[in-house]
Amino acid sequence: MKTVRTILKTLFLCALLGFQGLGHTAQKPDIPLPAPPQLASPSYLLMDHHSGVELVAENADQRMEPASLTKMMTVYAVFSELNSGDLSMEEEIRVSERAWRAEGSRMFIEVDTRVTVRELLFGVIVQSGNDASIALAETIAGDEQTFAQLMNQYAERLGMTGTHYVNATGLPHPEHYTTARDTARLARALIRDFPELYKLFAEKTYTYNDITQHNRNALLWRDPSVDGLKTGHTESAGYCLTTSAKREDMRLIAVVMGAESEDARADQNQALLNYGFRFFETHRLYAAGEALTQAEVWKGAADTVGLGLTRDLFVTIPQRRYDDLEASMSVDKMIVAPVQQGQRYGDVTVTLEGSTVATAPLVAVSAVEEGNLWQRLVDEALLLFQ
């Protein structure tokens, strides 16, 4: 038994050493990484969707008025209701007088008429309708104020620590604010949590009540890789825009807040996206649920357990630097059964020239039950020599 343990340890150490280095022959980038674009807007951010790496950030935690970027959270709440089955696309909603009287941008629903959730969603996403936003808020929570509490609960759950909502529309209020970083997190959550429903953000036009309106996201018309998300504007907030674009397997999210004009917010978003796609690349290194190594288990029904990741591990790095990545693992020295699936027993770290670019917990990909009496007694004896 002791010999078997020794062999297993040797194999484990070999696996650990063999884990170093992801590439083949080191290759330096052909093009030096230039400085990011300097934009005129007071707050902006560029993030990779899959890895969450921020490629450009300027005053990303500065408190800003979101204007109609608020409706991204309104839509997130509606998508959550649809996903849970508490709401359906074809459910008809009666339009209240308060929704009908909404100030600002509208989809022109009429009081006491019945409109489907699907129609209202298009009214919010494409036409940025405040009337549609209020109608959906009242349906889900009874009134807009209670719905705002629900929005704040979602914001807290998503880690949006610099955000507070008081309405579903984005109309100005001293206690209604967000940040560029929180807005990017929300965009990332919309794409990640509702991949099918997210496709609604790519709609360029929508007609309701014989009135056709165009999506205010100019990049949907300019850049075929852009498929969302939302514009916003009030006199006090300036011009805001959150976009997402996918080119090949890489998806980026850009946020610009407080721009001076519609053209400025579109041009600045485009500059961020072009910079990210031109000079960076994203790779999925390891898939969730796959065993990256086998760790020794004591007193268990099995002698080893596979350790892997709970989520796919992505890295975003400067272009042509993939072969320079190195990965290493740290694994707990003593793993004693019972082992629960998903229990953490170490970490995997990916570095580039000594700097950490990604880290993730190593967890048991399967459970290991406690061994029988004989297995436990033998391992207990062997542990005396450890």
Please give the span between the terminal C-alpha atoms of the chain, in angstroms, as a whole number. 14
Give me the amino acid identity at 48.
D
Token match 């350790």: residue? 307
Active-site pick, 43, 68, 133, 244: 68
Q: Helix, strand, coil shares of the chain as percentages rounded to 5?
A: 35, 30, 35
User: Cβ neighbours of residue 296 under 8 Å, at least 6 residues apart?
Assistant: 5, 8, 9, 12, 303, 304, 335
3-class DSSP state of 249: coil
Q: Which of 223, 298, 216 is nearest to 261 (CA)?
A: 216
Catalytic residue among 41, 43, 51, 128: 128
Is 68 catalytic? The answer is yes
In contact, 169 and 69? CB cutoff 8 Å: no
| 71 included as an active-site residue | yes
Determine the Cα–Cα distance for residues 214 and 2; give it in Å rounded to an integer: 73
Q: Is 9 a catalytic residue?
A: no
Which of 43, 51, 71, 133 does the annotation list as catalytic? 71
Nearest to 281 by CA among 239, 325, 240: 325
Distance CA 247, CA 349 (A): 27
Task: Provide the annotated active-site residues.
Answer: 68, 71, 128
